[in-house]
Amino acid sequence: MVKVEFLGPIGKEPMYIEAKNLKDVAKKLQADPEIKKWLDECAVAVNDKLVTSLDIPLKDGDKVSLLPPVCGG
């Protein structure tokens, strides 16, 4: 099981998902309308390392973080 956390303004509690890779996580998150709207805008990190591919394999205990864009001055 992997932990999926939602940072910043997404405002959702962490979820625990059975997933073999990020594609599995993306499929499950797209089923939630509140989260789906963020998916195209967010950066994704696995165990605190930014990733760009959905082919990243996951194992029990991994952490997936969705990082929405932020702006600052």
Q: Specify the pLDDT at position 50.
A: 96
Whether 55 is covered by a domain: the verdict is yes
DSSP string, the chain: -EEEEE-GGG----EEE--SBHHHHHHHHHTSHHHHHHHTT-EEEETTEEE--TT-B--TT-EEEEE------
Q: What is the pLDDT of residues 7-55, one digit of tens each?
A: 988 889 999 999 999 999 999 999 999 899 999 899 999 999 999 999 9
Domain range holding 52?
A: 2-67
Whether 8 is covered by a domain: the verdict is yes
Whether 73 is covered by a domain: the verdict is no
Whether 45 is covered by a domain: the verdict is yes
Whether 72 is covered by a domain: the verdict is no
Q: How many domains does the chain have?
A: 1
Q: Specify the pLDDT at position 11.
A: 86
**CATH no. for residue 34?**
3.10.20.30
Stated pTM of the model: 0.90
